[in-house]
Amino acid sequence: MSRVSVHRDWGVIQSFHLAEKMMRWCVRRRARALCLVLACLSVLLHLFLVLLTLSVYQTPSEPQVQLPSKTIRALTDPTVTPPMDSHGKAPSGLRPPGVSIMDVGGDRNMAARTGEESSVPKQDGAVKTLSETVKMECVNTPDLQPLKPNLTKMEALFKHPLYNVPGPPLQDDDWLLRMKPKVKEQELESHQWLSASEEGYDAVHLNNDVDTHPPWLRFHMGITRWQLYDPRDPNLHLLEDQLASDKIVSALQKTGGTQLKLVMSFPNYGQALLKPMKQERNEETNYNLYYFSDFERHNAEIAAYHLDRVLGFRRVPPAVGRLVDMIKEIKETTTDGKLAKTFFNSAVGNTCFYGQCSYYCSTEHAVCGRPRALEVSMAAMLPDLSLAPRRSWRSPWRRSYSRSKLAQWEKEKDYCDTVKKTPPYDEGTRLVDVIDMAILDFLMSNLDRHHYETFEKFGNDTFLIHLDNGRAFGRFSKDEPSILAPLEQCCRVRRSTLMKLQLLALPQHRLSDVMRASLSKDPLTTVAPLLSEQHLAALDRRLARVLKAVADCQERYSNAIYNDITDYPG
């Protein structure tokens, strides 16, 4: 082989190696660039996933309404005092401004007394109270842990001047019921009432002396044109004690209605409306159910009474929680054979019954104890219709109660203009009364307000009675804006209502904190809080939405505020 051919072959080999090195370098460079691009895409993808996760799980916050500085000063200035009562000095026996069952000084151990009166046997023969039984059998859930009640906030709220503004002077015809005038001593005997001798009932001897009247009768005698009760009346505390702890001598099923309710009687002839526990406190209403198919909740009746009182309305009858012995206090006291026949023992030995009603009165929807201790709400009964007739009014914003049809107010934007021209909404305070009721219902998510009642004696110039709140507090994770339709369509609200809502939006009087403290005084709180923390947080969220709706109305209309407290500063 010649030297020239060797050199040529060697040059070809070197060229091949050089080309191979260049190709490897290009491949490595492209690989690095590709890895860099993939790394950047990975980082961007992770950032996108983080942002998407936050947007899904973060709870949307309601817009905060900034209160005018003038309003804040009026609400928080402790030196502002309301004018003197225009209808004379306060009745004897009234304590300083506060609220009976929720007063800081109003300590009571009703739950303890209930446990002492009603008990169930332990397996080893010892005695276990109903409260202890329910506590042991309640299932712990992973919900938010209840916070400690702040009684100071509640006390400060009810001492605020806004909650102590005197009402109009009371005339004789402003009282629902009045005692007969005094008679001569020789005729006094004919004006006395002595109860018949009945088993289980006390011998009640009534006359014109108020001290002889049981708490339920004093409650009836205290109803006026403007409110169901005076929050400063010490009798309210006695009435709540009676509902929570008095002996039950009779249990009868209440006729009418769609769900199970009982009328319970006490030895002093007082009565209460009982609604049993149907579902757990932390259980939300099934989203697939229509509002007219929902359960009635015992804790909703109690919480509605407290919320109505915190708002300063005083239009919900007093309601208290209680643990009842289903055998001793219902089955053995009832004279209703049909009710007694519905009692049975469940597969695990719990006492159950279902009664007779339109909905949910069957073995599949029976009310069961633990094993015979049952949580119930006990609401004070209003005076008998023969003494104080009531008129039932169809709400203008009543829902269609249909799965396919819409109500008129849901289809017409100017629906309120028609309502304003229709009696009794064309004059007086009836329209703002309905809007007060809508605000209450929105805060507790009650869609079941188809009718309301008033006392016939007072005509159209009186308050609305907020009855039947058992379907409230069904959902805490969702608000129902349509409940606010009366406010948003009519753009009218009481000044006193607005100022109290603004007060409850301030940190020192936060609505959820005041409600937590108020409910902590109920006997059933010894078993578990009546409202979960999710429900309490929903109150604050919905309150902000109400204030936002009022602020929007004030921007659109100059007469959105109905001034019912002209003498109050601010």
**Active-site hit among 448, 461, 479, 564:** 448
Laid out side by side, the sheet with 319-325 consists of 250-253, 262-265, 271-276, 373-380, 319-325
One-letter amino acid at 264 equals: M
The binding site for ATP consists of 259, 275, 296, 379-382, 453, 468
SS3 371: coil
Q: 318 Cβ partners below 8 Å, 6+ apart?
A: 219, 229, 236, 239, 240, 243, 305, 379, 380
The binding site for Mn(2+) consists of 296, 468
In angstroms, rounded to a whole number, what is the distance separating the alpha carbons of residues 348 and 352? 11
Residue 65 contacts residue 548 (beta carbons within 8 Å): yes
Strand partners of residue 99: none
In angstroms, rounded to a whole number, what is the distance separating the alpha carbons of residues 213 and 192? 12
53: Cα separation from own chain's centroid: 33
In angstroms, rounded to a whole number, what is the distance separating the alpha carbons of residues 453 and 386? 15
Torsion of CA 221, 226, 231, 233, to 10 degrees: -30
Over the Cα atoms of the chain, what is R_g?
Answer: 33
Torsion of CA 495, 497, 498, 501, to 10 degrees: 160
In angstroms, rounded to a whole number, what is the distance separating the alpha carbons of residues 253 and 354? 11
Torsion of CA 413, 417, 420, 422, to 10 degrees: -90
Strand partners of residue 114: none
Residue 315 contacts residue 228 (beta carbons within 8 Å): yes
In angstroms, rounded to a whole number, what is the distance separating the alpha carbons of residues 220 and 309? 18
The binding site consists of 259, 275, 296, 379-382, 453, 468
Q: Which DSSP letter does residue 505 get? A: T
In angstroms, rounded to a whole number, what is the distance separating the alpha carbons of residues 554 and 176? 37
Strand partners of residue 452: 393
Residue 311 contacts residue 543 (beta carbons within 8 Å): no
Q: Is 448 an annotated catalytic residue?
A: yes
One-letter amino acid at 47 equals: L
Strand partners of residue 377: 275, 321
For strands 344-345 and 319-325, give the pairing: unpaired
Q: 286 Cβ partners below 8 Å, 6+ apart?
A: none
Residue 282 token pair: 């932390």
For the annotated catalytic residues, the residue numbers are 448
